[in-house]
Amino acid sequence: MRWLLALIFPFLLAGCSSTPSSYGSHSECGSVVVVRSGDTLGEIAQRCHVSLRTLARFNGIDPPYMIRIGQRLRIPDARAIAAQQQGIAPQRSVPKRASQRPLVWPLAGATVEWKPDPKGGAGMLLRSRKPLPVRAMTTGKVVTLTRLPTYGPVVVIDHGRGLYGVYARLQQIEVTPGQSVAAGQAIGRCAPEGRDASVCYVELREARRLLDLRRWKNWTER
């Protein structure tokens, strides 16, 4: 499921606005560029005549190359690029710890199959006999509705404090973009799997990082 966010988040955090950037020439790049509404990392790299991968590595940005409005990007010069090619990597900030606030179990009475990723995070594949309502893990705002092959309808909710919930493999969606949701509110129903079962997938991310829901201690059933 790592590729799921790679498809969703570039539109969510970098490409939602169609407003063009107010600067565009190489002479305006300088040594630092401040990300503005409508910018993507690829567009900034093109304007500043550096490759996307070089710009990403120089700023410690991993795929899917998410940037945020107001972020300051360092533009590498020839010396910096040469140093990087020799294996001198830029320093990277340590990700913030997610708040251990209470979360609502997204599917009451479901069995869970954990889906870990290589970096230590884990989402959950939830199964039940009936297409039960899938519930928001905590309060938030719906930021993206989309449909992806295999995973069907997908809802992404901004849960605040840098946390994003991804709810996939839904049979139907009961929320709309921009809608505020309460903890435990139904956002859709699990998709059928065979004759006597239904299934959905849920994960929680802090920016790009998949959090390990197996270690989350504060679950509630409300």
Q: pTM above the 0.85 mark?
A: no
What is the 8-class DSSP label of residue 60?
T
In the beta sheet, which residues pair with residue 135?
186
Supply the CATH classification number for the domain 14-85: 3.10.350.10
CA separation, residue 202 to residues 59, 110, 153, 156 (Å): 30, 12, 12, 10
Measured distance CA(222)–CA(220) in Å, rounded: 6
Residue 131 CB neighbour total at 10 angstroms: 19
Supply the CATH classification number for the domain 103-220: 2.70.70.10
pLDDT tens figures, 139-148: 999 998 888 7
Query: What are the boundaries of each domain within the chain?
Result: 14-85, 103-220
pLDDT tens figures, 59-100: 888 777 778 888 888 887 654 555 454 454 443 322 345 446
Burial class (CB within 10 angstroms; exposed 0-12, middle 13-18, buried 19+) of 57? middle
In the beta sheet, which residues pair with residue 220?
104
Burial class (CB within 10 angstroms; exposed 0-12, middle 13-18, buried 19+) of 133? middle
